Amino acid sequence: MSKKHNFSAGPCILPQEVFEKSAQAILDFNGIGLSLLEISHRSKDFVAVMDEARAIVKRLMNLGDDYEVLYLGGGASLQFAMVPYNLMKVGGKAAYLDTGTWAAGAIKEAKKVGTVDVVGSSKEENYSFIPKDYKVGSEYDYFHCTSNNTIYGTQMKSFPEVDTLMVCDMSSDIFSRQLDFSKFDLIYAGAQKNMGPAGVTLVVIKKEILGKTGRENMFSILDYSQHIAKESMYNTPPVFPVYASLLTLQHLENNGGIAGAEARNEAKAKLLYDEIDSNPLFETFCVKEDRSLMNVSFKITDENKKEEFDNAWKAAGISGLNGHRSLVGYRASLYNALPIESVHVLVDVMKSFNKN
Amino acid sequence: MSKKHNFSAGPCILPQEVFEKSAQAILDFNGIGLSLLEISHRSKDFVAVMDEARAIVKRLMNLGDDYEVLYLGGGASLQFAMVPYNLMKVGGKAAYLDTGTWAAGAIKEAKKVGTVDVVGSSKEENYSFIPKDYKVGSEYDYFHCTSNNTIYGTQMKSFPEVDTLMVCDMSSDIFSRQLDFSKFDLIYAGAQKNMGPAGVTLVVIKKEILGKTGRENMFSILDYSQHIAKESMYNTPPVFPVYASLLTLQHLENNGGIAGAEARNEAKAKLLYDEIDSNPLFETFCVKEDRSLMNVSFKITDENKKEEFDNAWKAAGISGLNGHRSLVGYRASLYNALPIESVHVLVDVMKSFNKN
Q: Is A264 annotated for ligand binding?
A: no
Q: How confident is the model at residue A327 (pLDDT cuts 50, 70, 90)?
A: confident
The active-site residue, picked from B141, B173, B185, B193, is B193
Choose the mutation target among A108, A221, A321 for the interface with B, i.e. most B CBs under 10 Å.
A221
Percent of chain B clearing pLDDT 90 (strictly above): 97
Closest CA relative to residue B247, chosen from A46, A247, A37: A37
The 10s digit of each residue's pLDDT in B341-350 is 999 999 999 9
The 10s digit of each residue's pLDDT in B70-120 is 999 999 999 999 999 999 999 999 999 999 999 999 999 999 999 999 999
Instruction: Over range A122-149, report the average pLDDT.
Output: 97
DSSP secondary structure letter of residue B322? B
B76 and B201 in contact (C-beta within 8 Å)? yes
pLDDT at res. A340: 98
Rounded Cα distance, B331 and B45, in Å: 40
Q: How confident is the model at residue B355 (pLDDT cuts 50, 70, 90)?
A: low
Return the ∠ at Cα B294 (arms to B352 and B25), rounded to 5°. 105
Instruction: Over range A54-60, report the average pLDDT.
Output: 98
Rounded Cα distance, A337 and A125, in Å: 32
Closest CA relative to residue B60, chosen from B168, B269, B230, B202: B202
Strand partners, B144: B96, B167
pLDDT at res. A2: 59
pLDDT at res. A193: 96
- The average confidence (pLDDT) of chain B is 97
- The average confidence (pLDDT) of chain A is 97
pLDDT value at A126 more than 80: yes
pLDDT value at A182 more than 60: yes
Q: B133 and chain A: CB distance < 8 Å anywhere?
A: no
Which of chain A's residues have a Cβ under 8 Å away from the Cβ of B13?
A: 38
Q: How far apart are the first and last CA of chain A?
A: 31
Pairwise CB contact (< 8 Å): A13 & B38: yes
Active site residue B313: no
Closest CA relative to residue B160, chosen from B171, B144, B141: B144
Closest CA relative to residue A345, chosen from A326, A323, A325, A319: A319
CA atoms within 13 A on the CB side of B164: 21
Rounded Cα distance, B102 and B349, in Å: 31
pLDDT at res. B325: 82
3-state secondary structure of A255: coil
State how far Cα B289 lies from the chain centre: 20
Q: B22 and chain A: CB distance < 8 Å anywhere?
A: yes
Rounded Cα distance, A355 and A242, in Å: 47
Q: B121 and chain A: CB distance < 8 Å anywhere?
A: no
Rounded Cα distance, B194 and B248, in Å: 8
Q: How confident is the model at residue A355 (pLDDT cuts 50, 70, 90)?
A: low
The active-site residue, picked from B102, B173, B206, B313, is B102
Q: Which domains does chain B have, with CATH numbers?
A: 16-253 (3.40.640.10), 258-355 (3.90.1150.10)
**Rg of chain A over CA atoms, in angstroms?**
21
3-state secondary structure of A251: helix
Q: Is A76 annotated for ligand binding?
A: yes
DSSP assignment of A263-282, as one string?
A: HHHHHHHHHHHHHHHH-TTE
H helices of B177-256, in order, are 224-229, 239-253
Pairing relationship of beta strands A330-333 and A295-300 according to DSSP bridges? antiparallel
The 10s digit of each residue's pLDDT in A240-293 is 999 999 999 999 999 999 999 999 999 999 999 999 999 999 999 999 999 999
Q: How confident is the model at residue B354 (pLDDT cuts 50, 70, 90)?
A: confident
Pairwise CB contact (< 8 Å): A38 & B238: no
Active site residue A193: yes
The 10s digit of each residue's pLDDT in B306-328 is 999 999 999 999 999 999 888 88
3-state secondary structure of A196: coil
Return the ∠ at Cα B143 (arms to B142 and B147), rounded to 5°. 140
The active-site residue, picked from A98, A169, A173, A185, is A169
Rounded Cα distance, A305 and B247, in Å: 43
Phi, psi at A73, each rounded to 5°:
-85, 175
B31 and B238 in contact (C-beta within 8 Å)? no
